[in-house]
């Protein structure tokens, strides 16, 4: 298991710099279609996790979705299910999550492709709190995250998931998280590259082993510490 990274590592952009804002790819979403995605990757130096347009007024963020379209969820119909190797599986509404103690973190956001947004406030419920409320079983080793886009997934080891700087985030940049940023609820894994911060979070499943997430199946590191992983275990572009 990886040691903790030093928190205050300089946040210099790492990896290939990609600037696709002017191409307006955000409107497309990023293609679920592999052929189109390969085309886009070629444009972006074959580094897919930052392929996006700039969000209008996004303050440096780039919109990213591997699903071509994502349903909207409101306070009325949003649900977060916590299940797997737990004593007390539970489904939370947005109101339930808002009623739990909130933690605020102000950290840099860093995508593996190099774009970075310094000092971004996130607020929400510590993942460790939800795990404690659920009662994690003794055979548990990892946590898997699923999303209501129907496609994306992520994972953390149990030790990573219990860190104080991992949030089930309800607010970002001092606003409720809007749809484009993965609202109403996204994961925020502060010490890792932003691909760990699954948008449109709908499921937290405690498991007995790490199941690699969407990008991790495509070669990105599961232990995605900023400054300590280059985002790929093998680099098909080199």
Ligand X SMILES: Nc1nc2c(c(=O)[nH]1)N[C@H]1C(S)=C(S)[C@@H](COP(=O)(O)O)O[C@H]1N2
SS3 content of the chain, % helix, strand, coil (to 5): 20, 25, 55
- Please, what's the b/e burial string for 44-58 (b: 16 or more CB within 10 A of its CB; e: otherwise)? beebbbbbbbbbeeb
* Pairwise CA distance, residues 210 & 158, whole Å: 9
| Site membership for ligand X, residue 147 (CB under 6 A) | yes
Closer residue to Mo ion (CB): 85 or 192: 192
Closer residue to ligand X (CB): 86 or 198: 198
| Site membership for ligand X, residue 166 (CB under 6 A) | no
- Please, what's the b/e burial string for 213-233 (b: 16 or more CB within 10 A of its CB; e: otherwise)? bbbbeeebbbbbbbebbebbe
| Site membership for Mo ion, residue 130 (CB under 5 A) | no
| Contacting residue, 25, 26, 49, 210, with Mo ion by CB under 5 A | 49
Which range binds ligand X by CB under 6 A, 10-18, 56-64, 83-91, 224-232? 56-64
Closer residue to ligand X (CB): 54 or 82: 54
| Site membership for Mo ion, residue 111 (CB under 5 A) | yes
| Site membership for ligand X, residue 155 (CB under 6 A) | no
| Site membership for ligand X, residue 64 (CB under 6 A) | yes
Q: For residues 113 and 50, is the Cβ–Cβ distance under 8 A?
A: yes
- Chain-centre distance for alpha carbon 210: 16
Which range binds ligand X by CB under 6 A, 62-70, 98-106, 126-134, 230-238? 62-70
Alpha-carbon dihedral angle through residues 159, 182, 117, 66, given to the nearest 10 degrees: 90
Those residues with Cβ within 8 angstroms of residue 181's Cβ, 6 or more apart along the chain or in another chain:
55, 61, 172, 199
Which range binds ligand X by CB under 6 A, 77-85, 128-136, 162-170, 197-205? 197-205
| Site membership for Mo ion, residue 61 (CB under 5 A) | no
| Site membership for Mo ion, residue 65 (CB under 5 A) | no
- Chain-centre distance for alpha carbon 69: 17
By a kind-dependent CB cut-off of 5 to 8 A, residue 147 interacts, out of Mo ion, ligand X, none, with ligand X
What is the DSSP-derived secondary structure letter of residue 81?
Answer: E
Closer residue to ligand X (CB): 85 or 196: 196
Q: Kindly list the residues in this chain that would bind Mo ion in the complex (CB under 5 A).
A: 49-50, 111, 194-195
Q: Kindly list the residues in this chain that would bind ligand X in the complex (CB under 6 A).
A: 49-50, 61-66, 111, 147, 149, 152, 181-182, 194-195, 197-200
């Amino acid at each position: 298991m990886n040691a903790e990274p030093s928190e205050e590592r300089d946040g210099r952009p790492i990896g290939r710099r990609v600037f696709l804002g002017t191409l307006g790819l955000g409107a497309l979403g990023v293609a679920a279609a592999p052929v189109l995605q390969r085309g886009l990757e070629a444009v972006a130096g074959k580094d897919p996790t930052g392929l996006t347009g700039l969000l209008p007024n996004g303050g440096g963020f780039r919109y990213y979705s591997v699903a071509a379209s994502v349903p909207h969820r409101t306070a009325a119909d949003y649900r977060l299910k916590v299940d797997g190797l737990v004593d007390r599986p539970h489904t939370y509404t947005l109101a339930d999550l808002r009623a739990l103690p909130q933690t605020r973190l102000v950290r840099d956001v860093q995508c593996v492709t190099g774009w970075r947004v310094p000092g971004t406030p996130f607020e929400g419920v510590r993942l460790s709190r939800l795990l404690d409320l659920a009662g994690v079983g003794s055979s548990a080793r990892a946590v898997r995250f699923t999303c209501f886009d129907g496609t994306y997934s992520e994972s953390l080891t149990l030790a990573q998931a219990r860190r104080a700087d991992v949030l089930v985030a309800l607010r970002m940049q001092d606003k409720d998280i809007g749809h484009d940023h993965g609202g109403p609820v996204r994961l925020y894994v502060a010490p890792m590259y932003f691909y760990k911060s699954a948008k449109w979070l709908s499921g937290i499943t405690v498991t007995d082993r790490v199941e690699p997430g969407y990008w991790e199946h495509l070669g990105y590191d599961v232990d995605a510490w900023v400054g300590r992983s280059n985002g790929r275990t093998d680099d098909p572009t080199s």
